[in-house]
Every structure is written in structure tokens, then in C-alpha cells.
Structure 1
Amino acid sequence: MTTSAPEPVLPTARVLTVAGSDSGGGAGIQADLKTMLALGVHGMSVLTAVTAQNSLGVQDYWPLPVEAVSGQFRSVVDDIGVDAVKTGMLPTAEVIETVAGLLQTLPPGVPVVVDPVCASKHGDPLLAADAVAALRELLLPHATVVTPNLPEAVLLSGLPEYTPPAELARALAGAGPGWVLVKGGHRSGPPTDLLLGADADEPLPFTAERADNRHTHGTGCTLASALASRLALGDDVPTAVARAKDYTTGGIVAGFALGAGIGPVDHLWRLRPHL
């Protein structure tokens, strides 16, 4: 009598990134997949745009057709499944609308981390001007956590540039996400990120020492991907934020020069023998 082999057990969580490609390898899909690998989850990808990008900036980008975005998503989700999703560069209102519709088809309880990418580290725009409203109105209601930096929070909220971060977080919480993480790295002093739950009165601060390192390309992508990875592994949101921030801070400290401009964070810093 023969017995059937046991069904293979998935050794780790599955995390899907929906984002653009960085040809220089420091941000975008490339940074997302490196982060997911470093944190022990299986990373998968839906490409939304191709960029011509290096350490000096983004020279150009080309959005993919919405049919290509939808086709990739359905191919992965319908066969492999997902335990968390992270979105990054969604360059047009049409792509944002498509992704928002796709997120509605996810099984209940799958966390979604929205990194509202509006510009590169060098300030090069990565989001069409008419897409800001679509991002705010169509995508944020699907977010378990949205992770804007200060300029992105100002742009999405419509509030003045000098608005305190806590007020920015409250304004974005009103757009429908479960949690808002406003990143404070653009301000002087020790960078403090503020995490506000939709039902909370006051945000939780997460502060780290500012690293003496200019090679910070890919920090936003890395943090959001680390957060999605930790959520997929079962952390609650505050715990996932703390662990994602610790991983990202270590990557910044170990960031290295690459090309003539701003180098990337080191996604494998925990594996370096000298660290």
C-alpha cells in the first residue's frame, strides 16, 4: 500500500510589492525584494513603471499599461496568494485606480502598506500631477498603514508646509487608512516618525539617532517593505513599525557609495561579518 507524500508547507510568508523598477538597484522593486529576502519572507512583484535611474537621479520613466499591471497581479495572487501587499510608485491616476480595484479583491485581513511615492530622493517627480487626488481618495482607504514622508504628507493632505507632523497625520487618518506613519527624516535633529491609529488621539513616536551617512537612497521603499514583511509574519502594527525602523536605520548606517551621487542603504547589513 502506497501513501501519498505530505503536502509541502510554505516555509515563510508571501509579500507582494506593486511598484516601479529602479535601474540603479537602490530603490523601487529592487530594494523591496532585497528587503523581503533579508527579513525572511518570499517576495513577489508587480511592475508599474520602468525608470532610467542612477545615483544622480531619475533621468526618465515609462508607466506600464494598466493591463500589464492587472495581469501581473492576478497571475501572482490567483496562484501563489499573498500574506501582505506593499505599494510604491504608482505613476498615473489610471494605474492607481487599477491597483485600488485589485486590492479590493484580496482576501479579508491581508494587510496593505501604501508608500505614497511622489518623488525620488533627488526630488525628481515620480507621480503625475493629476494622480495626487486619486492616491488620496482611491488608495488610502485600502491602506492598513500609509507611510508618507513630510513632503508627501503635505502634498496628500493639502495643508501648509509648516503644519506640525501630528496634524498632518490626523488629516491623513481622515482619508481612511487604518494607521498613518509620518516619517520625520526631512526635519533637522534626531529623525522621529509618528504613528497614528485611526481611532487614537495622540501619535506614537519612534525616534532614532541620525546617521552620519549621505547614502540613503531607497530608505522609503525599504521601510515600507520591511513593515509589510513584519505584518505578514504576524506582528501588530506598532511592533512591525518598530522592527522595520530598526532594520532600516541599520541599513542607513551601513549605506555605501555607488556611482557619483547618493548611494543606497545596505539591505544586507545584518549579514556583514564586520557588523
Structure 2
Amino acid sequence: MSIEGIIPVWKPAGITSHDCVYKMRKIARTKKVGHTGTLDPAVEGVLPICIERATKISDYMMDLPKSYRCVVALGSSTTTEDAEGEQVETLDPGEFSQKEIEDTLEQFTGELVQIPPMYSAVKVNGRKLYEYAREGKSVERPSKKITIYSITLNEDSLSYDNGIFTFECDIVCSKGTYIRTLAVDIGRALSVPAHMQSLVRTGSGPFREQDSWTLESLAQLQEESMLETAVIPITDALAHIDRREAAADELALIKNGAVLSYKEDMPSLFIYMSGSTPLAVYERHPSKPDKIKPKTMLYIEAGS
């Protein structure tokens, strides 16, 4: 019997998120595997992997805040806004004090409007922005609102060397935030060109660096028939969603995905439970305000 749940994987730099999924399909011995938010190949960090029925809840996990450790380089900008791109502009920034950096970072907390970089997968007119960028074309990019919940300078990280000033900061942000664009914007606030020198995702939703497993350690657990010890149950990953115990006369209806009556004490989105077993995620009906309907079915009949 295959395992089911979420495994927070530590994606190494140099491979894609899809490569992780491919490797996890072999380790978990099932094709039903997915991830919860792409990491660029050059970025390492926490990549929660959903297995079997847990693939149904990946969207709920993608919407959760992400945590990053970022090194910002002041004095040089690049085509891709990170260290992988070609240099565009250089300007010796000199040295900044800790207070100058902290005061600047403080400007970037809260709700911000961000324009995605040209080298990104955002689609404009049916094509990804990086496709235009590779052809040397520039198109108008759609702005979007993001939230920086916190951005904290690591005090001992300030360094100036050969015309480049770098510092490291820890960031907690909303889904879809481009940290490399944030690095460029920080440089702009300091009146110098900038780029993201390096990036590590230290957390994704409830999963942290210390919770994560390397692909090598997971392969070893599989060899020892202990892979289930790394698996986190679906209910733990959905701890941020309200729950409601299904009444005895509702069980069959919920298991079959029935539309039910809305009650005043019901949240707009919640999980129907039967003890410790998740049955379905329900939401307010979009056209019938007195009804609720299943958004995601989670119940599986024993033996199916």
C-alpha cells in the first residue's frame, strides 16, 4: 500500500521543482505526486511534496505565506534580477550603516504593488514573459498586490568588498512574491543598482527548514521501509482551515458530495470531519446563499 500525505523536501540548488517530483515518484512508488509552489533551479529550500490524496489540497497550501533567507547585492543590476543574469549596470555604492539598511527595509513591510520581472513565467497575451525576454522584446507587465509580513536584517551579514555591498535578510511574504524584484526595489530606495545574490526558502506554510528531508535521506528511508515516518497527515497541513464535525445523519450525504443547508455559525470555508478523518472541504454556494457545496472531496472508501 502506498503512503499518503505531505513530505517537506529540501530541494537542492541545481535541479527544478519538477525534478523533485520525478524523484519522489520513484521514492514513494506512485505517480500521484505534486509540489506546492515552484522554486527556481538556482534556489534551494523547503518544497512540500503532496502524495496520493494529498495532491488535492496543494492549492490550499500554496496560498500560505512563504519564508526566505535572501542576500541582497548593492552596486550591480542584472537582466534577470538575480546572480544568474548578465550585468546591466554597476555603481560603487560605498558602505551603508546597519540603521540605513534597517530603515530602508522597514519601508517594504505591509501591502506592496509589485511588477514581475521579465524573466518570469507570468503570461502576457498567452506567452510567458521570459519568452519575450529571450527574444529581446519588452512588453507591459501586469502589476499585482503582495504582502511582506516581515523583513529582518541579519545584523552580522553586512559586507563591502570590491564595489559590492551585501547583506542578508529574512523575509516572510505572501504567495507570488518575487524576492529578486524586492531586492531590486530595495536598491532603488537606496539609489543604487541591485540584484538578489542568493536565495533560500526556509519555510512554506507550516513547514520549516528543520522539518525537511533531503531526497537522499528519503531514498534511504524507503530502502529501510520507513518512509511513512517522514509523512505528515493531510489534516496537519490543513490546520489553518476551520473544521466541523459531521453529524451522524450528514455522513452519507457529505461522503457523496451533496449540497447542504448553510447554518449561521458556519465559516465560509471549512473541513467536514468524522473524528480524525477529513471528509471534504465545503464552501458557501456561489449562487445559493442558503446552501454550502463541496469544494474538494477528501473521503475515500476503505479498500478503494
TM range (shorter): under 0.3
Q: Between the two structures, name the one with larger relative contact order (CA 8 Å, sep ≥ 6).
A: 2
Greater share of residues in helix:
1
| TM-score for both structures, normalised by structure 2 | 0.25
Q: TM-score, length-normalised on structure 1?
A: 0.26
